Amino acid sequence: MQLDEIQKRLLLEVADLHSVPEGAYNIRANGASAGRQSTENIEIVPKTDVSGLEIRIKPGTRNESVHIPVVMTESGLKEVVYNDFYIGDDCDVVIVAGCGIDNCGRQDSQHDGVHRFFVGKNAKIKYVEKHYGSGSGEGKRILNPVTEVYQKENSSVTMEMVQIKGVDDTERMTKAVLEEGAKLVVRERLMTHAEQRAISAYSVELNGKKSSADVVSRSVARDDSYQKFDAKIIGNAACHGHTECDSIIMDHGRILAVPGLEANDIDAELVHEAAIGKIAGEQIIKLMTLGLTESEAEEQIINGFLQ
Amino acid sequence: MLELKDLSFSVTIDGQRKDIIKNINLNIPKSSLVVITGPNGGGKSTTAKLIMGIERATGGSIVFNGEDITGKSVTERAKLGIGFAFQQPVRFKGIKVLDLLRIASGKRLSTVGACQYLSEVGLCARDYIGREINSSLSGGELKRIEIATVLARNPQLSIFDEPEAGIDLWSFQNLIEAFSRMRKTVKDSSILIISHQERILEIADEIVVIKDGTVDRHGKREEILPHIIGTSSAVTECRAADKKGD
């Protein structure tokens, strides 16, 4: 696999990969596959009609992983990629996606990943998606992920979405539809700085009895950045939904939190919580009494908050 | 070790100047345990905050180990060897007990090492080390973790602002034992406690009564304690509990 040093660094940031991962993988670099491997249980096939992959995981596959990171270092590259995951019944797998853009040029670089997950009965998946940007060019680093999750009975999906640094503009749309007994857990961590803009919207439909969703976002808006968190949970059955947006605002940052709940069944139990505030002065002072400077204290508080 | 010279602190409320601390002169010798007591609102906690730099003196000076620290920041004072346990400890979302103890110790503290500090304040370390310092902790648990952070820091001068508040009677004895151990751990170290608990006053070498922003009395425990027993400056646990229930 041929990757330059910057691409390798991006790969490490978004997928914790030092080299080729174990198991099934596809590494996409500047719009083309730089390496791909299927395994006995996990098949990765490129789509023929549009750019993207079909990832088919055989029923009963356990303790295996799929890595599909994307790295971009060419300024001005814009792409839309459609990846579909078909996860068989009774699987227990980890899927690691993520995109890193290094833009040193003047033109915007943009990656819009559309991921659809069809999760079989009793299957359990953990999905990790990290977004990262670097480079000193004037061109923006733009990421607009769309994630759709369709969960069959008693399946369980845990999503960890992280965007900490360097992405100038992002519009993240996540949609989930859950059948009976299915469970969705989302943990989003977001930090924006400079003049970045990030929009994150969720729409979760709890259609089956005993289905549940827990969508929690923790975010920090620094400098002149803007964030919008729009989380909607729709309860169409005897279900349990919880959404939480907890944000720290700094400098001239702005945050709009729009939690939304819709109950269409008498036994739907839905809860939302939202809190936005600056770092408490007492927290900084406490850490200063332990020997940290004011800025070190702020960093510790933010790091802990985004852990 | 610590000298307060004509220390003053005033605030301006609605254009009116209010003197909170009025020309306090006080000397805390090395290797001593000094308890500051006095009526509520008399300026005890403010004095403690002025020493740590959380409030900035509006007059006078503070000398620590021969160095004038009046203009120094909280961080600088902490680095010089002053530690502070808050009366009402703050919570941190996401920061774990182990993280805070590591920050306090200023080194890569081992889990075993961190557990030791928690045991000293009567917490079962295994249950707490990985806990976040968030609203899932009770006031009493938080208070003990706060004291553990000062133990982990091992300062030359430790200041405890009403350390007994929210701590039950069983751990009260533990707390007193922890103070004795602290004095042995760091050579020549001193402890300054803000409290009107009789049991804490009983272990003091010296007692300072601060009233209306001034030092009302200061001397050896044997001299001062008899004069203040039965007043609001020296209450027993039961009376303290009654007071809280008011």
B148 inside domain: no
Residue found by looking up tokens 């304690």 in the block: B225
The answer to whether A23 and A66 have CB atoms below 8 angstroms apart is: yes
B145 inside domain: no
The CA distance from A69 to the nearest CA of chain B, in Å, is 28
Substitution target in A219, A276, A290 with the highest count of B β-carbons within 10 Å is A290
Amino acid sitting at position A164 = I
CB contact under 8 A, B96 and A288: no
**Reduced to 3 states, what is the DSSP secondary structure of residue B202?**
coil
Residues A185-196: tens digit of each pLDDT: 999 999 999 899
Global pTM value: 0.84
The answer to whether B78 and A290 have CB atoms below 8 angstroms apart is: yes
| Domain limits for position B177 | 2-90+156-245
B40 inside domain: yes
CB contact under 8 A, A286 and B86: yes
The answer to whether A243 and A273 have CB atoms below 8 angstroms apart is: yes
Q: Which tokens belong to B115?
A: 């557990």
Q: Which of A215, A195, A197, A194 is nearest to A205 (CA)?
A: A215
Nearest CA in chain B to A283: B90
B108 inside domain: no
CB contact under 8 A, B78 and A288: yes
* pLDDT in single tens digits along all 307 residues of chain A: 677 888 888 888 887 777 777 889 999 988 888 889 999 999 999 999 999 999 999 999 999 999 999 988 888 888 899 999 999 999 999 999 988 888 888 888 888 889 999 999 999 999 999 888 888 888 889 989 999 999 999 999 999 999 888 889 999 999 999 999 999 999 999 999 989 999 999 999 999 999 999 999 999 999 999 999 999 999 999 999 999 999 999 999 999 999 899 999 999 999 999 999 999 999 999 999 999 999 999 999 999 999 8
- Count interface pairs A-B at CB distance under 8 A: 58
B135 inside domain: no
- Chain A residues closer than 8 Å to B106 by CB: 290-291
Give the alpha-carbon dihedral of B113, B114, B120, B124, to 10 degrees. -120
Nearest CA in chain B to A189: B94
Q: Which tokens belong to A177?
A: 């539809």
B163 inside domain: yes
- Chain A residues closer than 8 Å to B104 by CB: 290
Give the nearest partner residue to B103 out of A285, A292, A305, using CB atoms: A292
Residues A125-162: tens digit of each pLDDT: 999 998 888 888 888 899 899 999 999 999 999 999 99
> What is the number of domains present in chain B?
1
Q: What is the pLDDT of residue B3?
A: 96
Interface of A with B (CB under 8 A): 218, 246, 280, 282-283, 285-294, 300-301, 303-307
Confidence of residue B170 (pLDDT cuts 50, 70, 90): low
Q: Domain holding B6: CATH number?
A: 3.40.50.300
The CA distance from A168 to the nearest CA of chain B, in Å, is 26
